[in-house]
């Protein structure tokens, strides 16, 4: 029979172990880390959408192609009702710097994606589109907000969900944070 004696204050002491794990939990679950993780998630979403990929229920896939009529609208052309001629519209659309007229990547002007926000909590974060106003192509105010546009677009082109690979990046970053905190506490 082997006897083992635990010294008071050693790592095997239940009281000390409980205090250290409580300290680890407090230090690891912090608003600061979730703010950092949410910024990483926003960057991943922004990059994926600019490349023309959607994410629905963790599955990444290309956005559906744009219709020819919508491509012409983005080029600044439109059909007339009588002869079907293509005419220049009064206001030439100014595409955002992330896209071309035929590329489906939700960045016609870039306003919606530039208004991705986050809310960090002690146990996680939430990503959303801010309820901010929009500017029309020709100047002036749009009657829709970025949040309304995002809700409409998300029905056919879901984009705010994280793909599996993006989730792995976030989880890996969080695990590294927990390891770093544990190293400081237990050493």
Residue that has been written with the tokens 């896939």 in this structure? 61
pLDDT at 30: 87
Instruction: Kindly report, residue by residue over 22-38, the tens digit of the pLDDT.
Output: 888 888 888 999 999 99
CB atoms within 10 A of CB 77: 17
pLDDT at 32: 92
Cα–Cα distance for residue pair 146/149, rounded to 1 Å: 5
Question: pLDDT > 70: what percent of the chain?
Answer: 81
Residue that has been written with the tokens 């029905």 in this structure? 155
- 48 lies in some domain: yes
CB atoms within 10 A of CB 20: 15
Half-sphere exposure of 169 (CA within 13 A, CB side): 15
Q: Are 141 and 5 in contact (CB under 8 A)?
A: no
pLDDT at 136: 75
- 104 lies in some domain: yes
pLDDT at 177 over 90: yes
- 14 lies in some domain: no
- 153 lies in some domain: yes
- 171 lies in some domain: yes
Pairing of strands 59-62, 53-56: antiparallel
pLDDT at 39: 95
More confidently predicted of 104 and 60: 60
What does the pLDDT average to over 137-142?
77
Q: How many domains does the chain have?
A: 1
- 5 lies in some domain: no
- 12 lies in some domain: no
- 21 lies in some domain: no
Query: Which residue segment(s) compose the domain that 158 sits in?
Result: 27-186
pLDDT at 12: 60
Instruction: Kindly report, residue by residue over 42-92, the tens digit of the pLDDT.
Output: 999 999 998 889 888 888 989 888 888 888 887 777 654 445 555 444 555
């Amino acid at each position: 029979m082997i006897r083992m004696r635990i010294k008071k204050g050693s790592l095997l002491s239940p009281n000390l172990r409980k205090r250290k794990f409580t300290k680890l939990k407090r230090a690891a679950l912090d608003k600061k880390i979730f703010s950092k993780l949410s910024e990483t998630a926003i960057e991943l979403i922004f990059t994926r959408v600019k490349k023309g990929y959607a994410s629905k229920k963790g599955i990444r896939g290309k956005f559906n192609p744009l219709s020819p009529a919508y491509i012409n609208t983005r080029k600044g052309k439109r059909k007339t009702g009588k002869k079907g001629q293509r005419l220049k519209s009064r206001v030439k659309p100014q595409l955002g710097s992330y896209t071309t007229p035929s590329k489906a990547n939700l960045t016609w002007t870039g306003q919606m994606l530039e208004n991705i926000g986050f809310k960090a909590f002690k146990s996680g974060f939430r990503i959303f589109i801010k309820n901010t106003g929009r500017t029309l192509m020709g100047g002036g105010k749009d009657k829709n907000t970025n949040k309304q546009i995002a809700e409409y677009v998300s029905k056919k082109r879901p984009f705010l969900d994280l793909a599996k690979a993006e989730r792995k990046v976030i989880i890996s970053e969080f695990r590294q944070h927990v390891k770093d905190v544990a190293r400081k506490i237990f050493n």
